[in-house]
Chains A and B, each alone.
Chain A
Amino acid sequence: KNEVEQSPQNLTAQEGEFITINCSYSVGISALHWLQQHPGGGIVSLFMLSSGKKKHGRLIATINIQEKHSSLHITASHPRDSAVYICAPRAQKLVFGQGTRLTINP
């Protein structure tokens, strides 16, 4: 069973493009994390949100609890944004999506 679905699974874009990654989940949650994982690296928590919208620099995360959907947006994308982005809704524990592999070409 897939409790968390992310789309797209892979995304390649040119530098400067606006990026959107979507996450739909079926579990009841108290919060949702967006995480970033670089190749060979650990995981960095970008956002934790339970309602509405959060912004940090060029990153924006939104969540609609009723629709069980969240999105991560990157404005003015840059090659250093290339990484795997993981959606992780939190019930008692985190449930991870499969991740979206983002590649930004210069």
Chain B
Amino acid sequence: NAGVTQTPKFQVLKTGQSMTLQCAQDMNHNSMYWYRQDPGMGLRLIYYSASEGTTDKGEVPNGYNVSRLNKREFSLRLESAAPSQTSVYFCASSERRGDQPQHFGDGTRLSIL
């Protein structure tokens, strides 16, 4: 039982390149989330998906797009990467809502040069 799996674990991009971060959960959870973590900033919500087929903006959505591919998978896309998007990205899932325990993956460390 893997929980939440994120790929890749590390990535270096050049400014202007595009990339998709993948996330999959095997807990049959309805809700999934993408956060970014920057030094001294805690975790900030980028986008979330309350259920299959729905997505909503979080606190810092600019420069990102998401796709809830099916109940298991939720991807995050950077269309034109910028140095300000250098961060550690975490995917999480919860059974139904954000006010329930969220299970996190181990993150994707993304550097944009």
Q: Is A bound to B?
A: no
Interface, chain A (partner B; CB < 8 A): none
Interface, chain B (partner A; CB < 8 A): none
